[in-house]
């Protein structure tokens, strides 16, 4: 059985003809990328004719799979972003995008009955996340709890440098910390493993506590921090106080 299908090219003024269609070099690149995308080879399909009705490139194949993939590829391109396409589909989509930009045209895939499969006016760009995440360690003391949503508690922490940070914490962590508050509240510095959500739009930072560690000896930790704040440097090659604490705890 012969399957005849078409790719119609049109501009905004509907002024394209056989004489004003795509240049041969551009047409060659278009058909090559289309061939790769639908698994078409010289033995499976041919360029049958070119019509002046908005310039319609008509192709014919005896391979039902090629015809089926012609339909699927254009549906995929019209309904998905570039990142969701296969490599050969993405190559073809990029060719279409280049020609649309260069010549101000649109593409329309037509089935055997010359009915529209898809009309492609643009290639969807991948949706980039408006933020990114990073992980860090914060040394701070708890100075308050809050949060408007009871299901999303917040813990206010003051770092050694005096910066106040609101951390999102789980209900489980809140319950685990409760028995220790009388000893550590506003006094002991905790080691907090934190995930930071950073906005790419306005650089706003949102903090979520992943884990924590309560110092085993309040007096030892407080003495170390006071010594560091007073100018004592336990490790001359280390300038970060948190790193100094880690080295001391690990007996390095």
Beta bridge partners, 131, equal 199
Question: Which helix (H) or strand (E) is 22 found in, with range?
Answer: none
Which range of 60-69, 146-155, 213-222 scores highest in mean pLDDT? It is 60-69
The domain in which residue 155 lies consists of 131-215
Q: What is the pLDDT of residues 142-156, one digit of tens each?
A: 999 876 666 678 899
Is residue 162 helix, strand or coil?
coil
Is residue 221's pLDDT more than 90? no
Q: Are residues 16 and 92 in the same domain?
A: yes
Q: Are residues 145 and 109 in the same domain?
A: no
Q: Are residues 115 and 64 in the same domain?
A: yes
At 227, is the pLDDT very low, low, confident or very high (cuts 50, 70, 90)?
Answer: low
At 75, is the pLDDT very low, low, confident or very high (cuts 50, 70, 90)?
Answer: very high
**What pLDDT does residue 208 have?**
93
Domain count, the chain: 2
At 14, is the pLDDT very low, low, confident or very high (cuts 50, 70, 90)?
Answer: confident
Residue 125 resides in a domain: no
Is residue 235's pLDDT more than 70? no
| CATH at 167 | 2.40.50.140
Distance CA 157, CA 4 (A): 69
E strands of 17-68, at which residues? 45-51, 56-61
Q: Are residues 109 and 142 in the same domain?
A: no
Q: What is the pLDDT of residues 90-117, one digit of tens each?
A: 899 999 999 999 999 999 999 999 999 9
Residue 240 resides in a domain: no
Q: Which one has a higher pLDDT value, 1 or 237?
A: 1
Question: Which helix (H) or strand (E) is 142 found in, with range?
Answer: strand 131-146
Question: Which helix (H) or strand (E) is 68 found in, with range?
Answer: helix 64-79
Among 120, 139, 160, which residue terminates a domain?
120
Residue 185 resides in a domain: yes
Average pLDDT in the chain? 82
Q: Are residues 7 and 103 in the same domain?
A: yes
The DSSP secondary-structure symbol of 69 reads H
Distance CA 57, CA 48 (A): 8
**What pLDDT does residue 240 have?**
59
Residue 170 resides in a domain: yes
Distance CA 244, CA 225 (A): 10
| CATH at 68 | 3.30.70
Q: Residue 14 — left, alpha, or beta (φ > 0 → left; ψ -120 to 50 → alpha)?
A: left
Distance CA 153, CA 137 (A): 20
Cβ(89)–Cβ(77) below 8 Å: yes
């Amino acid at each position: 059985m012969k399957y005849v299908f078409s790719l119609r090219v049109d501009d905004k003024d509907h002024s394209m003809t056989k004489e004003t269609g795509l240049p041969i070099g551009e047409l060659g690149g278009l058909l090559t990328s289309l061939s790769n995308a639908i698994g078409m080879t010289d033995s499976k399909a041919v360029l049958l004719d070119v019509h002046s009705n908005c310039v319609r490139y008509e192709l014919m194949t005896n391979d039902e799979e090629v015809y089926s993939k012609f339909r699927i590829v254009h549906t995929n391109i019209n309904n998905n972003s570039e990142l969701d396409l296969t490599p050969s589909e993405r190559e073809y989509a990029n060719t279409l995008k280049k020609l649309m930009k260069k010549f101000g045209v649109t593409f329309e895939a037509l089935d055997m009955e010359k009915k529209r499969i898809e009309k492609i006016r643009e290639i969807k760009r991948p949706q980039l996340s408006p933020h990114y995440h990073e992980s860090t360690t914060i040394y701070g003391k708890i100075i308050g709890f809050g949060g408007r949503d009871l299901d999303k508690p917040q813990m206010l922490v003051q770092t050694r440098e005096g910066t106040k940070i609101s951390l999102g914490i789980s209900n489980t962590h809140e319950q685990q910390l409760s028995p220790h508050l009388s000893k550590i509240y506003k006094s002991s510095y905790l080691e907090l493993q934190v995930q930071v959500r950073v906005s790419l739009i306005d650089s706003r930072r949102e903090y979520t506590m992943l884990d924590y560690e309560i110092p085993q000896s309040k007096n030892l930790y407080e003495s170390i921090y006071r010594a560091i704040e007073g100018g004592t440097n336990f490790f001359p090659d280390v300038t970060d106080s948190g790193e100094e604490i880690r080295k001391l705890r690990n007996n390095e």
